[in-house]
Amino acid sequence: MAIRKLDIIAAAAILLLSFSSASDAQVFDVTKYGAKADGRSSISVMILCVWKLACASTRPSKIVIPKGTFLLGEVKIQGPCKAPVEIEVQGTVKAPADPSSFETDGWLTFSYIDNFTLSGGGVFDGQGKIAWEQNDCHKNKKCNKIPMNLRFDFITNALVHDITTLDSKNFHVNVLGCKNFTFLRFKVAAPDDSPNTDGIHIGRSDGIYITDSTIGTGDDCISLGDGSRQVHVTGVKCGPGHGISVGSLGKYKGEEPVSGFWVKNCTLINTENGVRVKTWPASYPGSVSDLHFENINMVKVRNPIVIDQVYCPWNQCQANIPSLVKINNVSFKNIRGSSSTAVAVKLACSSKVPCKDVVVADIHLTYEGPEAPAASSQCSNVVPSILGKQSPQVCA
């Protein structure tokens, strides 16, 4: 209950900041600075121009992109700024379709800003189809960089609400080094076969809130990289996609611990996985702790509950060498619905560092498919605490 109250207080504080700042904000409409809503003329120069003015203002400022279709090239928006700044996107902002026109892995990058808001009900369209067809990064380690729709680097006290990211060429959103950052009524949309299009990827950030949002894409709806701390996901609808994941972890030396992840009151529909923790075999040492998945509804999800410490996509690993990532204090509570695979619960922990303090409580998952008459579970190198009713019986 205390955690939930803190969630509400933090979100309310950010919303109050946003509303109070907007009430007396200085407004910069990009069309007053030469931006054209014709979908062909780049507004990159105009955006940077008005950002410079807004960021230098000692009063709260608002940049408005009105209704219409605007073309925007690769842009980096940087602080620090002298006062809170809001960007209100009412229209559709489109990226160049050709991925070769980008120099980095970010289309629109925000960095080193405090008290920032992105709002307006608008759409960021990454026009990713050409990039998806060219993406061979799963087999080519020297593949060309593919831009993400939105990068947030080292942002503090931020609110992104009522915004859609569409058809990103790569990740839709990357959150790095951020603190006290809320996504509210946020929407991610891409086809289920769009490669590597994670909805929101978080790394080395503290205090991230994702609330009342809808994410459908071709990879993880939400994924946590190393150094993620105190991440709260509430009221999210995920699907299509690969589920809500921690990891993959342990592939690189010096990864920071992941600690504090709450996923509550979410629904996953026709996803490849449900809630999942994944680490590489033959990994570097690392740690994952304080993960809690509660009140989750699964609808025809392939692998509803997963701990996978032999995660090895495309067989690019040494699967016979145990993972060295320690997993402890993990709970799965009140998870219900249907599995499209016979194994509804899979807890495959490391033989070198077995999972500790795992709790499984009140699980009711039915199997819908031809493989077996009932759902089942698989467990290795873990002795979970079993509470409440279990269907299927977990680690029996």
| d(C-alpha 35, C-alpha 337), whole Å | 49
Question: Which three-class secondary structure state does DSSP give residue 314?
Answer: helix
Indicate which residue of 161, 201, 232, 242 is catalytic: 242
Cβ atoms within 10 A of the Cβ of 359, count? Answer: 14
**Is 242 among the catalytic positions?**
yes
Burial class (CB in 10 A: 0-12, 13-18, 19+), 40: exposed
What's the token pair of residue 178?
Answer: 């951020």
Buried-state track 209-225, b at ≥16 Cβ within 10 A, e below 16: bbbebbbbbbbbbbbbb
| d(C-alpha 236, C-alpha 187), whole Å | 10
| d(C-alpha 141, C-alpha 137), whole Å | 6
| d(C-alpha 216, C-alpha 275), whole Å | 15
| d(C-alpha 339, C-alpha 169), whole Å | 30
Pairing outcome for strands 237-238 and 222-224:
unpaired
Q: Where are the alpha helices (DSSP H) in the chain?
A: 2-23, 44-56, 129-134
| d(C-alpha 249, C-alpha 241), whole Å | 19
Residue positions annotated with a catalytic role: 242
